[in-house]
Amino acid sequence: MSKGRVTVIDIAHAAGVSKSTVSLVLQGSSLVNEATRAKVNVVIRELGYVYNRGAANLRQAKSKIVGIVVNDLTNSFFAELAVGVDMVVQSAGYVQFLSNTGESVDRQREVVASMREHGISGLIVSPARGTEAADFKPLTNAGIPVVIVVRNIPGAKVSSLVSDNFAGASAAVEHLAGLGHRRIAFMGGFANTAVFAERLGGYREALAKAEIAFDDDLVVATAPSRAGGVEAVGRAMLLAHKPTAAVCFNDAVAFGVCDGLRARRLEPGVDFAVVGFDDVIEAESAVPALTTISVDPQGMGRRAAQLLLKQVNSGKVEAEAIVSAVRLVVRQSSGAGLDTTARRAVS
Amino acid sequence: MSKGRVTVIDIAHAAGVSKSTVSLVLQGSSLVNEATRAKVNVVIRELGYVYNRGAANLRQAKSKIVGIVVNDLTNSFFAELAVGVDMVVQSAGYVQFLSNTGESVDRQREVVASMREHGISGLIVSPARGTEAADFKPLTNAGIPVVIVVRNIPGAKVSSLVSDNFAGASAAVEHLAGLGHRRIAFMGGFANTAVFAERLGGYREALAKAEIAFDDDLVVATAPSRAGGVEAVGRAMLLAHKPTAAVCFNDAVAFGVCDGLRARRLEPGVDFAVVGFDDVIEAESAVPALTTISVDPQGMGRRAAQLLLKQVNSGKVEAEAIVSAVRLVVRQSSGAGLDTTARRAVS
DNA sequence: CTGTTAGCGCCTTCAC
DNA sequence: GTGAAGGCGCTAACAG
């Protein structure tokens, strides 16, 4: 409070010990006498000493800082992800640098560089569109572990956490079969994409497990949009043997399917069960009584952070470890459109 | 890549100059010969040098790091706020430590302490419930500016950014009067709170400006909840001279008012105009055709960051500067409940 | 168990 | 314009 910041040397002086002793008590070392430790701690409190982690980091050539960069924090999926990361990072005594790229690879490059200069010991990144595998090469070369989440970067030699499309679709079908449905359609999505293939694969496997014959007519590929959903349900309802439920490629499609059902005087969730992959998380409450399959973003964040910290602590950066995270969410929203998951008030 | 990290001394050696010269080019000083600068920059790139900000911070006893702590990042209001902060912070060459407290004052204390140890040069905080003015004393004593956002902490001698309830309510009335309404009710909220008084004040002032007589019957205080909204509209509709529009204490009330209108076979937004303070941001798309008044969280974040950086750069910490930020948002949502503000897909 | 001695990588006087 | 020291606050060896 008087002159400049108080340092270890000040408190060593005041406590009548040497700086190293002070340093040891700061690190909670057991190599120091209980009485001395107590005395030092008292002085620390009295002088209002604050530990300078920067100096320690410099000396030890390592830090307890991790970087997390997301492409769109405005999307609550990523916000939840960041919260999940923060939870484990915090309780591990780390702090997180968080940056938002807004889907700009340039900005991403900047913030990653900045974080590196600040000495992050690991990085979790939900890459902006257009990110290349080479973009993280400098980090991994320097022995800084990187965990990519949500989107996969083919060829990047780092750990990735992406949703398990196969298991998700499978869980959706299982859920519907459990409700007694036998005519379950798969609606929406472009058939020539990898994601479509994975989700369809999960769908087929779960059908087989439930001993339901696969019917090609029930797979209705359309654009992965709301309009696509409307189109899909329209086509499905032309079938002689109509479906009673549908797994939708994503929730946009699911919304469209609901629209289409209502146009036919059918009530989604009552007359016809709809399950959608929850890719557009933000809109979750827009259509009540809709069941969705989604990865739990917070859980994904936690897993990403654990994965990262494991590598940080072991000093080993992993290469090409694809892990998966999926959760089945059955939403119990009220017809009013405001359910128990509605957020807390601000003020 | 070969042995340890490359430092200024390495590049000085390789470029045939001294470390100080390197240091000068790193800082973009004009005191260095153009040719030398170029050569040094080449070597820097060749050796893959990365600047060690930690060391620089230590030496200069300052950092380009700001802390931001929010009480609930899961609430998209705060996520947007963080994005706003990030924007200005990033372009000012700073990085942000972000932490989530989840409304825990203990956690808040921890993260703030941790940030301090890491040498933040400023802090933006949306305080957890129960935060006391004294909690930020250590920071301000150390000359570290603090900006409190969203919630006010009475007695805290720091800058605060809160929404301008008076101006917001006023803008709402103005909006409704502009649409031709003359019987505008004020619905919901407990009459004995400061926030209620402020919003009601703005309502009254705007009425006066629009030359509409204030009618006590049109102020219907109820619980600031959905049920309260239902109750409020019920009571208002018993009046001989019924309202044709309402400013609602918050959006929960507004939802209830809409519920109540529908129960009376009235269509909100068509037969009866409803404007609500958007305190529960997350539910924005739950009730289509609802007009809301809200502070723009991103804008608030940007202003907070600007305010903070101004203090950081000037070295002056401000005390007790209450500023306000309000924006009128007229939502144009489609009847389907999914509007153009729906978020981007994740994958 | 505690003190002494060197730096971590950078920036800042000061000479040259 | 450039080089030579010294030190920011801390910790990692060693001694004692």
- Tell me, what CATH number does A109's domain have? 3.40.50.2300
For strand C, which residues in window 29-88 of chain A come within 7 Å by CB?
Answer: 31-33, 35-36, 55, 58-59, 61
Same structural domain for residues A274 and A307? no
Predicted pLDDT at A152: 82
Question: Is pLDDT above 60 for A7?
Answer: yes
On chain A, the residues whose CB falls within 8 A of the CB of B112 are none
C-alpha distances in angstroms, B172 versus B116, B221, B232, B326? 41, 18, 18, 11
Q: What tens digit of pLDDT does each residue of A32-64 get?
A: 888 899 999 999 999 999 999 999 999 999 999
Same structural domain for residues A130 and A276? no
Report CB contact under 8 Å: A83, B76.
Answer: no
On chain B, the residues whose CB falls within 8 A of the CB of A54 are 54, 57-58, 63, 118-119
Q: Which residues contact A96 (CB under 8 A, 6 or more apart)?
A: A65, A66, A67, A68, A82, A85, A86, A89, B97, B98, B99
Indicate yes or no: strand C within 7 A of the C-beta of B27.
yes
Q: pTM, whole model, 2 decimals?
A: 0.83
Structure tokens at A185: 């359609």
Same structural domain for residues B144 and B79? yes
Same structural domain for residues B143 and B224? no
- Residue A1 domain flag: no
- Closest CA-bearing residue to C1' of C9: B55
Question: Is pLDDT above 80 for B280?
Answer: no
Question: Is pLDDT above 90 for B91?
Answer: yes
Predicted pLDDT at A284: 42
Nucleotide lying nearest to B24, CA to C1' measure? C11
Q: Are A332 and B63 in contact (CB under 8 A)?
A: no
Last residue of a domain, one of B23, B40, B58: B58
Average pLDDT, chain A: 86
What residue ranges in A164-239 does DSSP mark as E strands? Answer: 184-187, 219-220
B155: left (phi over 0), alpha (psi -120 to 50) or beta: left
Report CB contact under 8 Å: A58, B61.
Answer: no
For residue B47, give the CATH number of its domain.
1.10.260.40
Same structural domain for residues A172 and A272? yes
Report CB contact under 8 Å: B86, A99.
Answer: yes
Question: Is pLDDT above 90 for B258?
Answer: no
Question: Is pLDDT above 90 for B226?
Answer: no
- Residue B3 domain flag: no
On chain B, the residues whose CB falls within 8 A of the CB of A285 are 282-283, 285-286
Report the range of poorest mean pLDDT among A124-128, A291-295, B55-59: A291-295
Nearest to B57 among A50, A54, A346 (CB): A54
- Residue A77 domain flag: yes
Q: Which residues contact A343 (CB under 8 A, 6 or more apart)?
A: B72, B74, B75, B76, B280, B281, B282, B283
The count of structural domains within chain B is 3
A180: left (phi over 0), alpha (psi -120 to 50) or beta: left
Across the range A304-319, mean pLDDT stands at: 92
Distance in angstroms (rounded) separating the CA atoms of residues B326 and B210: 20
Quick one: what percent of chain B has pLDDT higher than 90? Answer: 61
Average pLDDT, chain B: 86
Nearest C-alpha neighbor of B74 from the set A24, A80, A338: A80
Instruction: Identify the domain containing residue A276 by its residue range.
Output: 165-296+329-344
- Closest CA-bearing residue to C1' of C5: A20
Same structural domain for residues A23 and A105? no
Q: Does B75 touch chain A (CB under 8 A)?
A: yes
Question: Is pLDDT above 90 for A343?
Answer: no
Nucleotide lying nearest to B117, CA to C1' measure? D9
- Residue A27 domain flag: yes
Question: Is pLDDT above 50 for A2?
Answer: no
Quick one: what percent of chain A has pLDDT higher than 90? Answer: 61
